[in-house]
Structure 1
Amino acid sequence: MVFVAVFSDRAWQFWQRWHIVLVSVFGISALTYWSILQGQDQNWDLRNYHYSAVYRLLNNRLLWDIAPSQIQSWFNPFPYIPYYIAIRSLPPIVSGSLMAIVAGINIVLVYALTLSLFKGSLTPLKSVTAIAATLIGATAPMFLSEVGTTFIDNVMSLFIVGAGLILIRMYRNPDGSGDVVRAGWAGLLLGIAFGFKQTVAVFIAGLVLATVVTCLLSRRSPVRPVLGLFVGGLVGTALSVGWWSYFLFTTYGNPLFPFYNKIFQSPYFPLTNFIDVNFLPKSFMAAVGYPIQWALGNSFVSCEMFFRDFRFVMLYALLAVGAVFLLRPVRAVEPTKSMPGLLDRNACVFLFVFFVFSYVAWISMFAIHRYLVPLEILTGAFSVMLLAVSVRNRTAFIIVVAILTPALVLTTIPASWGRSSFGRSWFDVRGVDSINKPDTLYVVVEGGGAPLGYVIPFFGKTSRFVRIAGNMMLTPGVGLGASAKDVIDNHKGPIRSLQVKEQMIPEDLKHLRIFGLEPSATDCGTITTKFDVLQSCQLERVSPPAPGGSASVVP
């Protein structure tokens, strides 16, 4: 074996003892270094709600401001608390590095899960295969693009992959004792993930289905594992989103506000089930073609940003052969010297069912590429599993892995959500003091949907923000629009607009007038940040226009 020569006896003993630690240290260090080279995160969601949502939560502003971050104002803020503390307390390069380190924990989970696909003790072949699989997953374009950012998709993957690892290893106990406890811990992780981000439901469903199928194929009762998943999931969900759902329900009458409002019928939002369908495939053939589009660089079918990725189109070439082996009836044991003979059948069936079902569910419900991160980082593990089935000779397997791994890594172009150079301040907001006065009401009228929530913490605590335009347009007298109109009409202090400089369009002016406001032509000030140049103008009260009429100034 070629790899045996690489390790002396002493080196191999050292590797056997410390391989998890070594993979973790080298992998996390590499990702952190890469993130530092990319620069400071400035993604749209960070500027819209990641930062301001936590500020509003911790400063009792949840009902003080109205829709300051548009429809995202009601996303669960709890998973972003660590990011808020890091940004607020540490130099940008340090806080960004900490974000990268957290994302890097995925590396050790993927490495451990890949090893779990094989039977027996650690060998050089298994180690190198797991490293290759981890490298393929860790350089996936969406995962890599989010390293060192405030996106939590690569945090959700920690819970999903971690739960999957627990469930896969559960099958190593042949008599099923302890299944409830192990599945309960996995369910706890999944419940926490679901509470933080409900879009992970497709992966939770995939893990539950994989658990049931693997139990049945191994002639094992799925009742206890499913019970453990259910109970653990309830506890995890209650811990991560229980208080937030209670707050939304008692305030707006909808525990998922503003989503699924056709079901809960909150008077504060239209009776619709808001769903982002921008990236959903228009047909079955279009869905089948998505991986081909990603390989060609036409990433805009599932993402706002450009990227290129050959991983999923490569899986097409391996799936058919892999399915024949993994789901065929049990027969004679594979020769131990063949690659299939090294595989743990239960672990491979589990990963196969989870991966395929979750992908189909994802592309059917969302097709938003950021949500695919938990599968992206497992593409390497899934690939080597299918390769081990397809390329039965060990030498041939090693050669294919040695070619495939650098080919996938080097042809990948990760997405970019916006980066800037590190400095002393994450946001570098200036000019607020020159325009801000106590008890000022700021009406955000950026109809184009520009993310402005991040500047809220830099104004005084008595300042108040009402956003009437963006991806959630408010109308006086209707739902939250009525609340906004009431705040505007009864405000006793100064009222000012807030928008990106020179981007107030006629539709924005018209929307202001509907709320009885009009900007002053003389009293305007500028606020600069690391990302934007903002403008704030004094607003005068006017009589709202009658249909077809014009507004008049209120004396």
Structure 2
Amino acid sequence: MKHGLFDRFARSPFLLPALLLLGAAISVARGQDAAWDLKNYHLYNAWAFLNGRLPVDTAAAGLQGYFGPLLDIPYFWLGTGVLKDAPRVLAAFQGLWYGATIFVLSRIVLKYTVQRGIPFDWKAAAAVIVGATGTMTLTQAGMSTNELPLALLVLLGFYLVMPLFAGNESAAPLSRVAWAGLLCGAAAGLKPTAIVYAPALAFAVWAAYEWRIAGLKLAVVIGLSSFAAFVLTYGVWGWQLWQLTGNPIFPMFNQFFHSPWMPPVGGTDRALMPTSVLQALFYPFWWLHRNRTQAGNQFADPRYALAMVAMLAFAAYHLFGRLTRTTVRASRTNRLLFVFVATSYVLWLALYSILRYAVPIEALTGLILLAGVSEMSSTTSGMAATWRTYLPTAVMVACLLPIVIMTRYTDWGHAPFGRQAFDIHPGEIEPGSLVVVLSQPNAYLAPFLENAEGSHFVGITWLNDLGAGYELQRRVREDIVSHKGPMYALLRDDSTAAAATLAGYLPGMRFDACHPVVSQIEQTKRRRDISEGLRLCKVVR
């Protein structure tokens, strides 16, 4: 069989290294990661875990300080170890996740074209480009938020089950779905925001088997293997949280676990949830124009709306065809794809509605467009052969135009590279000190304070207000009031509310000997200072 240019490129052994280099280059070009989350908890969590500080510190990074730390460790370890003096190399390393994710996406699209008997040409290349350049996918390149490692695992899981629907059911189905479940479960264990993808994949496999018992058995295998991987990757951390707080995913979903540390509330961030039934049903159409519904900064992305239109049209087309008996049933490969994306989206919408948690969905939006137009054109009776051949390509290329014109990328926070990977110098504290972290995002300074290992950190943030009257607030107050040694505070100009809480615990206290924190990541790429007076102060009682 003769392969075209795009097909040969997709099959080339040089594709993976080329994409890895692309990811590294994008990451370096964007500069030093200086996102809010990095400064709030990604650096602190890794340091705290490596130094066994869970029972020592109390809410130093607020709610996020209790998130699982495993994915943060490589970045922190490299940046404070072998790559300490090579910030660009560290950024390049972090960018490899993007290249690997896009490689798996290209393999998914290639596998899809083979299973559907269509050439990997302009339309398939467009499907990869659409997914690879999504606002969340592309802007996560090089970031420490870990969305791309999770997406890589989820997409690998989806790729593994695709051969089951290529007309050859002897392709080791149990082994494939077990590995797929392990990958999706590991993603959820490493960061529970990925919890929606394992059940979505299990449901999609069952649907692709037309709800037969054989498909249900495979779905159960996915569920069991994903649970095993979740326990393996999250179990130790969850057990430690359970022992400390009584909630293995503290402080999330405390309405079910009833930890005495917090009131019985969910704890999930609901700020980006749809605000009306209409918005919940058609949320992607809010993202067609510049808005702040998701990224904080302005962004726009038509991919999700186009994919939703394609899915609704695909469903209506086949429903009408079944009612009139004018079309054949949807292919099993397409049922797998559409049910997986639709189920993932509904679960994501119900739990979080935070768009950067939806990178696996976004990466597949281009394939959704390709699948919809390809199947509808191939199963429509009376369509000329020429139209069957060229219509999908024309539609895919036409979709690229509004995507290019309308997409507006956000930036999660970048700074110029410093002399070191983490060019951060908060100052020195006395051994045996208590450091009160007033508001967020200040906890990232803890690992870089002189004598930090022998000191104690507590946080005063909105989480303390939420837990008023419960064990968390009591512990923070007791840590502060009972401490007899030196005491310091990390604060900014906007930490007035947290400072007032501290003053309530220590009447008559004042800040003394304050000095500004020197931190490379407290500036924008254009070197505008955003530290808001970040400083370390001695607390005088």
**What's 1:135 paired with?**
129
Q: What do residues 3-40 of structure 1 show as CA deviations (whole Å, max 9, x unaligned)? A: 97x65xxx98xx37x72533323333333322222111
**What's 2:381 paired with?**
none
1:88 alignment partner AA: T
8 A contact 2:425–2:519 mirrored in 1:
yes
Which of 152, 175, 179 is the aligned partner of 1:158? 152
Work out the number of aligned pairs and report it.
Answer: 515
Provide the identity percentage.
Answer: 26
**Residue 537 in structure 1 maps to residue 537 in structure 2:** yes
CA positional deviation for 1:452: 0.9
8 A contact 2:26–2:142 mirrored in 1:
no
What is the alpha-carbon distance in structure 2 between the residues aligned to residue 212 and residue 439 of structure 1?
A: 58
CA positional deviation for 1:213: 0.8
**Residue 360 in structure 1 maps to residue 346 in structure 2:** yes
CA positional deviation for 1:474: 7.7
What is the alpha-carbon distance in structure 2 between the residues aligned to residue 395 and residue 222 of structure 1?
A: 35
8 A contact 1:518–1:539 mirrored in 2:
no
**What's 1:503 paired with?**
494
What is the alpha-carbon distance in structure 1 between the residues aligned to residue 215 and residue 375 of structure 2?
A: 26
1:259 match: secondary structure? coil
Paired residues for 1:40-439 under 5 Å: 40-89=32-81, 90=83, 91-119=86-114, 125-172=119-166, 174-176=168-170, 178-216=172-210, 221-298=214-291, 300-324=292-316, 345-392=331-378, 393-405=388-400, 407-409=402-404, 411-433=406-428, 436-439=429-432
8 A contact 1:135–1:380 mirrored in 2:
yes
2:436 match: secondary structure? strand
Normalised to the residue count of structure 1, the TM-score between the two structures is: 0.86
8 A contact 1:136–1:405 mirrored in 2:
yes
Q: What do residues 114-157 of structure 1 show as CA deviations (whole Å, max 9, x unaligned)? A: 1222345987x325433221111010001111110001112111
**Residue 528 in structure 1 maps to residue 522 in structure 2:** no
Change (3 A) 1:395 1:263: closer
CA positional deviation for 1:471: 4.1
**What's 2:447 paired with?**
457
**Residue 33 in structure 1 maps to residue 34 in structure 2:** no
2:353 alignment partner AA: A
CA positional deviation for 1:177: 6.3
8 A contact 1:40–1:421 mirrored in 2:
yes
8 A contact 2:431–2:455 mirrored in 1:
yes
CA positional deviation for 1:476: 8.1
Moved more, 139-148 or 390-399: 390-399
**What's 1:544 paired with?**
none
**What's 1:466 paired with?**
458
What is the alpha-carbon distance in structure 2 between the residues aligned to residue 245 and residue 20 of structure 1?
A: 42
CA positional deviation for 1:363: 2.0
1:308 alignment partner AA: A
What is the alpha-carbon distance in structure 1 between the residues aligned to residue 51 and residue 332 of structure 2?
A: 50
1:503 alignment partner AA: D
Change (3 A) 1:518 1:79: farther
Change (3 A) 1:257 1:473: same
8 A contact 2:437–2:443 mirrored in 1:
no
8 A contact 1:476–1:514 mirrored in 2:
no
What is the alpha-carbon distance in structure 1 between the residues aligned to residue 514 and residue 352 of structure 2?
A: 42
What is the alpha-carbon distance in structure 2 between the residues aligned to residue 164 and residue 518 of structure 1?
A: 60
Consecutive unaligned residues of structure 1, counting only runs of 5 or more, are 335-339, 542-555
8 A contact 2:207–2:336 mirrored in 1:
yes
**What's 1:337 paired with?**
none
What is the alpha-carbon distance in structure 2 between the residues aligned to residue 226 and residue 269 of structure 1?
A: 36
1:272 match: secondary structure? coil
CA positional deviation for 1:101: 0.7
8 A contact 1:179–1:228 mirrored in 2:
no
**What's 1:490 paired with?**
482
What is the alpha-carbon distance in structure 2 between the residues aligned to residue 316 and residue 257 of structure 1?
A: 35
1:152 alignment partner AA: N
CA positional deviation for 1:405: 2.9
What is the alpha-carbon distance in structure 1 between the residues aligned to residue 252 and residue 115 of structure 2?
A: 48
What is the alpha-carbon distance in structure 1 between the residues aligned to residue 469 and residue 435 of structure 2?
A: 20
8 A contact 1:71–1:471 mirrored in 2:
yes
Computed over aligned residues only, the root mean square deviation of the Cα atoms, in angstroms, reads 2.8
What is the alpha-carbon distance in structure 2 between the residues aligned to residue 259 and residue 37 of structure 1?
A: 36
1:512 alignment partner AA: L
Which of 425, 434, 441 is the aligned partner of 2:434? 441
2:200 match: secondary structure? helix
8 A contact 1:321–1:389 mirrored in 2:
no
1:249 alignment partner AA: W
Moved more, 398-407 or 190-199: 398-407
1:416 alignment partner AA: D
2:488 match: secondary structure? strand
1:251 alignment partner AA: L
Change (3 A) 1:373 1:175: closer
Change (3 A) 1:518 1:391: farther
8 A contact 1:176–1:220 mirrored in 2:
no
What is the alpha-carbon distance in structure 1 between the residues aligned to residue 443 and residue 420 of structure 2?
A: 17
Change (3 A) 1:100 1:73: same
Change (3 A) 1:77 1:279: same
2:368 alignment partner AA: F
What is the alpha-carbon distance in structure 1 between the residues aligned to residue 208 and residue 466 of structure 2?
A: 50
Consecutive unaligned residues of structure 2, counting only runs of 5 or more, are 379-387, 523-530
Change (3 A) 1:358 1:495: same
1:513 alignment partner AA: A
8 A contact 2:262–2:466 mirrored in 1:
no
Change (3 A) 1:472 1:489: closer
Normalised to the residue count of structure 2, the TM-score between the two structures is: 0.88
**Larger-Rg structure:** 1
